[in-house]
Amino acid sequence: MADALILGDEKAVYADKGYESKTRRAALKQRGVKDRIMHRSHKNQKALPYWQQRRNALIPDGGRRWSVCSPA
């Protein structure tokens, strides 16, 4: 469902860690859309690396789960 919202003319996609996947990140990169999806820890990780924690803190949440920023 979330992938259907991406048309390809977006500047960036913001989403919480529930939408994080390697395939989604690769598809965004292929379309030239900035990936602003929060990282999540996986079962083989104790915790996120510092840079992923910092990146998550910098991504605005605003209570939304998925947001697409289109050009004006």
Compute CA distances 41 → 11, 17, 52, 64, whole Å. Answer: 26, 9, 9, 20
pLDDT in the model for residue 66: 58
pLDDT in the model for residue 68: 61
Instruction: Give the lowest-confidence range in 4-13, 46-55, 56-65.
Output: 56-65
Identify the H or E element spanning 51: helix 50-58
Instruction: Give the lowest-confidence range in 22-26, 27-31, 37-41, 59-63.
Output: 59-63
**Sign of the torsion angle spanned by Cα atoms 13, 24, 34, 47:** positive
Residues β-bridged to residue 35: 13
pTM, whole model, 2 decimals? 0.72
Cβ neighbours of residue 8 closer than 8 Å, sequence gap 6 or more: 31, 33
